[in-house]
Structure 1
Amino acid sequence: MISRREELERAFNNAWYHGAKWTLIFLPLIPLVMLVAALRRSLRPQNGFAALGAPVVVIGGLTAGGTGKTPTLIALARYLSGRGFRVGVVSRGYGRTTDDSSLLVSEEHTHDEVGDEPLLIKRSAPKAHVIVGKSRKNAAKSLIREFGAHVILSDDGLQHYELPRDFEVAIIDADRGLGNGWLLPVGPLREPRDRLSSVDFVLERNGSIESRALTYAPKRFISVKTQQTLTIEEGRALFAGASLVAATGLGQPAQFFAMLRHMGFEFTEVAVADHALLPLREIQASHNPEYIVVTAKDAVKMDKQACDNVWVIDVEAQLPEALMSSLEQLLDRVARN
């Protein structure tokens, strides 16, 4: 059964990216949205190293919805941790049911306590310290003071101007672009499109220009219940000829489905609202699949005991060398100072 939220998401996406015109009724709101965006940007503080004592790298986007921000942050956290840097991550913790106070995320937390994406970040990049809270600036200060963080990564933080920053990464979807080009709610833009000219690096998901392309590399399948791992080829053999459902609560589920099709899988699609919990019982009752494949973001929200036939596909973001080189230069400058 489709929820009201899912209906709204589909209706807005149809208008933003597929030509439906009904959101034009919100045109009178655009001047107000532009004013608020301009005021927020005018309050942008000094750079993070000067203000906090450690450089701040913001990963965000110009459009509402999923563009690969969290996988990108995870890849950066792993890379920097591997280079010996103490990495701190700040996030709002969308979807948490606890209060807005700052909370250090552990791998044992639940998605209700800290949000699905911060929990995924911690489990995927365990060397990084992750704090969720209403104030990203205060969270960053805590990471530097308590854990000696060398660098702060801000998840989906492009529009959170309270937090000083030294380097901004904006991610756009090369296939969907900026939609109809309008600001919210008429279109998908959180800020005017010229904001892209002021960021330090623009990543294009599935882009054709290698120096700024963000791509995904499927690595393995993992049983949600038992943590058994399969290579991609072993997964192909297991799922061959079986009734398969691919299910997700991503902001842009088409990306997930397209990847699986490109890998040669045949399946039934099930998509729920972004951040929503997958209704496994309904999926089992409606489709009676032999196997269900989900994303890592979905898996962190699941009761493992209810997942006998559920497998998560482990995917790694592949980032361009140009981005890594730019970050290395930033950190070298900071080290010299």
Structure 2
Amino acid sequence: MASWAERWHDGHPLFRLLLPLGRLFEAVAARRRAAWRDGRRTSWRAPVPVIVVGNITVGGTGKTPLTLALVEQLRAAGWRPGIVSRGYGGRATYPCLVLPDADAAVVGDEPLLLARRSGVPVVVDPQRARGVRHLLAGADCDLVICDDGLQHYALARDIEIAVIDGRRGLGSGLPLPAGPLREPPSRLAEVDFRVINGDWLAAGEPPAAAVTMLLEPGEWLPVATAGSTGPVAGTAIAAGAAARSAAAGQAPQPPARVHAVAGIGHPPRFFAMLAAQGYAPVPHAFPDHHAYRAEELRFTPPLPLVMTEKDAVKCAGIAPPDSWFVPVQAMLPADFWQALHSRLADWRPSDA
């Protein structure tokens, strides 16, 4: 049965009662954006190229895996990227440099995952322009990736990438709080790249000139190791998995029944991925950025427990034995990377 969050996203008639508030939100957002466009408010421009990865809907669409893939590809091309993120759910003093041994409750779960997986400097700050200045002042970066910053117009950007969930699309197409839209669908025509996470299964036609991103699951890793996971990219996910799995026991194999935990923007996507791998998941959905307690991870009957990597960075010290997480890698077509590198040609690294 669909949760109320899913019903809200998909347009349950009950939430149409909020449409007057939605139209007010829509008008205020449009007026705010117009102020940046016509010069009444001024954006700060960084001395290095800025790539913004975002979406026009509330909820998870796959921005974090795409950000990690961008870091991997751009670093291989000679860039020295850094990341600026919102740090949602944290309580840091901003701006804050995220160290790999940081507490997710302080810096946020997604920034901590980014810092551990990418191996590049990560700064959290709700004020993205201030965060970028802090990043550039303290790190040797010649390119900035802003994770989830499409609506933060105080920071000028050189490339915009909008990520859309292929399963849910734009949902009801209604503005907040009646529906999931932060900005109208027409905003997608203005971004440089439109990336669809997964095959398009949503109602209606996909956005024009969009590319498909597939999330490739890696070998399962013990949750106990999530607190010490260092830079992991590409095949390193699979390469490091065998040794760590051998040290901590054998990961369950299909068609095993497993308790599946997901505190992400769209938990059914994670459960569907496990089912596609041949597992029989018993789903346990939690709110996005949920702060877990140990007792919430004890289920009956006792079965192996598997969760997302975003959850694992918060649960390394409290998960029961036989707990695992699934790292994923974003796979995009070669022509996307070629187009991205072409757009960045004017800012080639000095040592490239």
The CA RMSD over aligned residues, in Å, is: 2.8
Q: Is structure 2 residue 39 aligned with structure 1 residue 26?
A: no
User: Shift of residue 164 of structure 1?
Assistant: 0.7
Give, in whole Å, the separation in 1 of the partners of 2:254 and 2:22.
Answer: 50
Aligned position for 1:85: 79
Give, in whole Å, the separation in 2 of the partners of 1:52 and 1:274.
Answer: 31
Aligned position for 1:266: 280
Change (3 A) 1:237 1:276: closer
Give, in whole Å, the separation in 2 of the partners of 1:12 and 1:237.
Answer: 32
Change (3 A) 1:144 1:76: same
Aligned-partner residue type, residue 262 of structure 2: T
Aligned-partner residue type, residue 280 of structure 2: E
Query: For each residue in 1:24-83, what CA deviation from the matched residue of structure 2 results, as whole angstroms up to 9, or x when unmatched?
Result: 11122233212221123224479x999211011000011110110111111111221222
Query: For each residue in 1:110-132, what CA deviation from the matched residue of structure 2 results, as whole angstroms up to 9, or x when unmatched?
Result: 10121000000011101x11101
Q: Would you identify which runs of 4 or more consecutive aligned residues in structure 1 move more than 6 Å? A: 233-237
Aligned length: 323
Aligned position for 1:224: 223
Contact 2:45 2:157 in 1 (8 A): no
Query: For each residue in 1:178-217, what CA deviation from the matched residue of structure 2 results, as whole angstroms up to 9, or x when unmatched?
Result: 1111111111100111000100010011135997001111
Aligned position for 1:6: none
Change (3 A) 1:148 1:49: farther
Summarize the alignment of residues 40-189 of structure 1 with structure 2, pairs less than 5 Å apart: 40-44=32-36, 51-99=45-93, 101-126=94-119, 128-189=120-181
Q: Is structure 2 residue 13 aligned with structure 1 residue 13?
A: no
Aligned position for 2:320: 307
Change (3 A) 1:258 1:336: closer
Return 5+ residue gaps in structure 1 as ranges.
Answer: 1-8
Aligned position for 2:233: none
Give, in whole Å, the separation in 1 of the partners of 2:277 and 2:195.
Answer: 24
Please report the TM-score for the alignment, with normalisation by the length of structure 1: 0.87
User: Shift of residue 237 of structure 1?
Assistant: 7.1
Aligned-partner residue type, residue 216 of structure 1: L
Alignment partner of 1:325: what SS? helix
Contact 2:297 2:319 in 1 (8 A): no
Residue of 324, 329, 333 corresponding to 1:316: 329
Give, in whole Å, the separation in 2 of the partners of 1:74 and 1:175.
Answer: 22
Alignment partner of 2:224: what SS? coil
Q: Is structure 2 residue 296 aligned with structure 1 residue 249?
A: no
Give, in whole Å, the separation in 2 of the partners of 1:327 and 1:273.
Answer: 34
Give, in whole Å, the separation in 1 of the partners of 2:251 and 2:97.
Answer: 41
Aligned position for 1:5: none
Alignment partner of 1:267: what SS? strand
Alignment partner of 1:333: what SS? helix
Contact 2:255 2:279 in 1 (8 A): no
User: Shift of residue 12 of structure 1?
Assistant: 3.9
Query: For each residue in 1:144-196, what CA deviation from the matched residue of structure 2 results, as whole angstroms up to 9, or x when unmatched?
Result: 23323111101111111111101100011122111111111111100111000
User: Shift of residue 240 of structure 1?
Assistant: 4.6
Contact 2:43 2:153 in 1 (8 A): no
Return 5+ residue gaps in structure 2 as ranges.
Answer: 201-205, 227-239
Q: Is structure 2 residue 193 aligned with structure 1 residue 201?
A: yes
